[in-house]
Structure 1
Amino acid sequence: MAAEINGVTVPFMVKVTNPDPLPQEPFLNADGEEITLADFEGQVVVLNFWATWCAPCVKEMPDLDALAEATADDPITVIALNEDRKPLEVAPAWLREQGLDHLEVFADQRQGLARAFQIRGMPTTVLIGPEGEKLAYREGIAEWADPDFIAALRKLAERAPADG
């Protein structure tokens, strides 16, 4: 499975045709501050909905951590959006215990963003382009640290229109 997006083959993803406008439901950063996806405009965003009680989510978290590390210097952001009941209490400790130190903590405190995206199950990953458009999605786990996936993200980030 791969999506063809702007001439770039993106492994693991299903292309979105005629996407709805990107939801702007707020979610929380590690400091408990409300942010929205608009705060990441100009970045390619890999938005992953996950929870500590979700076995497939737990399985793919090391790959998401490796993806975040590999793309740290690129205009690419990995948002691992925790859906646990008390995400700002649960997620930071869980990530530390697992040795996953390249992922920032983000919390969907009331599952508002998951509902806005109509997430049917976890993990679900949404690929968002630098102009804030939903490009593709994946329901289920994937090998996010795969070199071909990382290369595709970098190509999409290169195609971002220059400011001005």
Structure 2
Amino acid sequence: MIRKVLALLMALSLLPFAAWAQEEGTAEEPMVFPAFEAENLLDAEHRVTEAIFQEADLTLLNYWASWCGPCAEELPDLGELSALSEGRVQVVGVLLDGLTVSKDGESIERNEQEIEDALALMADAKAEYPLLMPEGFLGMLSSVITAVPTTFLINRDGELLGAVSGARSAEEWLELANSLLAEAETEMEAETETEAETETETEAETEAEAT
């Protein structure tokens, strides 16, 4: 498991975000998001795991910070996205400045003021989606982020489809999401047709051998 996580982080650090989707599209095996568990600041009683990706066709894992102006401006658009996509797309936030290393470097501490500021921003923007603490792999993933906000695109199977640096409008996100989902549906249809053709050929060969 640790080797898989390290390999994923190394791959992400070497791939420019803009080209990530194209580069990974040629891989035999897609990059799959590792298991994780994190606190949801909007629902502390229920921790969130990688199973959350199964709740929508596409998840936008949005890394942002309470001090980031473009991040705050994007919150209302992200809040609208689920409704605009008729539930096919969901947003999950990760608060980059929710945790910090202590001054002595020996422990991780909660940034209560930053957490309070972030929750206030979300409330003002009416952005009602999970906001996770950067724990475990979510915290490790933040080490490859070079711009804020950065959003990772993940399908229902937990496969990493790409990443986008910078803020976008709800319409821009919806256009990108629809494009990715349409491409995935086309690939699935092609695979189904190929499997059907293979099955037909196999049946024909079996009948020929029988005669």
Q: Would the TM-score normalized by the shorter structure come out above 0.5? A: yes
Matched with 2:198 is none
| Distance in 2 between residues matched to 1:113 and 1:160, nearest whole Å | 29
Aligned residues of 2:82 and 2:88 also touching (Cα < 8 A)? no
Q: CA deviation at 1:113?
A: 0.3
Matched with 1:6 is none
CA offsets 1:14-71 (integer angstroms, 9 cap, x no match): 5151454313232222211321222322521111101120122122222212213313
1:152 and 2:179 matched: yes
1:7-156 aligned within 5 A: 14-15=20-21, 17=24, 18=27, 19-29=30-40, 30-32=42-44, 33-41=46-54, 43=56, 44-71=58-85, 73-85=86-98, 86=112, 89-97=116-124, 100-110=125-135, 112-116=137-141, 118-146=144-172, 147-152=174-179, 155=182
CA offsets 1:47-101 (integer angstroms, 9 cap, x no match): 1101120122122222212213313x3232111222233365333322122xx22
Q: CA deviation at 1:127?
A: 0.5
Larger strand proportion, structure 1 or 2?
1
| Distance in 1 between residues matched to 2:187 and 2:90, nearest whole Å | 14
Structure 1, unaligned runs of 5 or more:
1-11
CA offsets 1:113-157 (integer angstroms, 9 cap, x no match): 042363233100011011110001112222343352353355368
Provide the secondary structure at the position in 1 that maps to 2:163. strand
Q: CA deviation at 1:112?
A: 4.6
Higher relative contact order (CA 8 A, sep 6+): 1
Query: What is the TM-score of this pair, normalised by structure 1?
Result: 0.70
| Distance in 2 between residues matched to 1:75 and 1:68, nearest whole Å | 7
Matched residue count = 147
| Distance in 1 between residues matched to 2:95 and 2:187, nearest whole Å | 28
Q: How big is the alpha-carbon RMSD for the aligned residues of Structure 1 and Structure 2?
A: 3.0
| Distance in 1 between residues matched to 2:162 and 2:152, nearest whole Å | 6
Instruction: Pick the structure with greater CA Rg.
Output: 2
Distance 1:149 1:109, change over 3 A: closer
% identical aligned pairs: 27
Distance 1:109 1:88, change over 3 A: farther
Structure 2, unaligned runs of 5 or more:
1-17, 99-111, 189-211
Q: In the alignment, residue 141 of structure 2 is paired with which amino acid? A: A
